[in-house]
Amino acid sequence: MYSTTSIILRATIISSTVWIYLMAFPFFIQAYQLDCPSYPHWKIRGKGLCNSSVKYTCLLNTNENKYNENCEFGLRFLGAGYKFVISGKLDRRHCISERFQSVTMLSNMSSSCVTLKSKCNEEGQIVFSDGTTTEDRSCRCNYIKNFAFVTKPKGTCYCIPSKEDCNCYYKTCPVDHYLTPVMNVNYGEGLHTDNYHCVHFSELAGIFQCPEIQKEKKPRCVEKANEMFITQSTQDSTCSTSSMNILVIHVVCMILVILFCVGKFFS
């Protein structure tokens, strides 16, 4: 038989374990957020929840900062550059900086602007322009590091990866020659446009058509705190439930330590 002291100690340990579970449970509930289905599954979810894929929406509720499913709004249309949200009623917000919407949006289509902007992170690429809520980000080749376009882009100074070939290659220049952006070069017979031309420093007598690189622009990967990424509807989500994972690890470790101590005490 166990002594009174061991019984009290055992009861204390068990009650402590239960207390930890009870304290941690609200955090689990708070950390959980509804993930909207990916677009191919919206119709299936809509028929199951609303008996109609047209009525179904899964949108960010800006008042509660979480996603809500709904069958009451019906089919609505929204102009390019915007996404649907719920703000007491069906409302609109600009696309976040990493996405754009170039066509009309339907309320039963997606909870975010559909198209992810290009990263301009392939070999030799840097950002030329961040684009807009309706247009993709444009890229250029980093001529400072001797990269030039494989194919001359339509925009001369930049390319748009979602519309054309934006690959860059390493272009070797002779000794004392430097790679320049697109420029008007004077060959003695008049000005000629040349794309990423190697020019000797003593013979440089051209006018740049494209702006020189001041500094390499990098796309932002952190949005405002009130912006949320949809982890299941896109493959490129940059946000995660890391805080919840850390909490789970801490709780599990505490429980394992307590169980280990209990086993040692009664063994």
Would you state the pLDDT for residue 155? 87
Rounded to 10°, the helix 242-266/4-31 angle is 170
- Asked whether residue 152 falls in the same domain as residue 199, the answer is yes
- Asked whether residue 174 falls in the same domain as residue 51, the answer is no
- Asked whether residue 77 falls in the same domain as residue 97, the answer is yes
Q: pLDDT: is 63 or 27 the higher one?
A: 63
- Asked whether residue 141 falls in the same domain as residue 176, the answer is yes
Would you state the pLDDT for residue 35? 78
Measure Cα distances from 116 to 7, 26, 203, 208, 236 in Å: 61, 34, 43, 32, 8
State percent of the chain over pLDDT 90. 38
Instruction: Return the sign of the alpha-carbon dihedral for residues 210, 211, 214, 217.
Output: negative
Residue 28, pLDDT above cutoff 50: no
Q: Give the tens place of pLDDT for each residue, 164-174.
A: 999 999 999 99
State percent of the chain over pLDDT 70. 62
Residue 105 belongs to what domain range? 39-117+224-240
DSSP letter, residue 145: G
Q: Give the tens place of pLDDT for each residue, 131-183.
A: 999 999 999 999 999 999 999 899 888 999 999 999 999 999 999 888 888 65
- Asked whether residue 176 falls in the same domain as residue 57, the answer is no
- Asked whether residue 89 falls in the same domain as residue 149, the answer is no
| Predicted model pTM | 0.62
Strand partners, 147: 170
The contacts of residue 144 (CB under 8 Å, 6+ apart) are: 179, 213
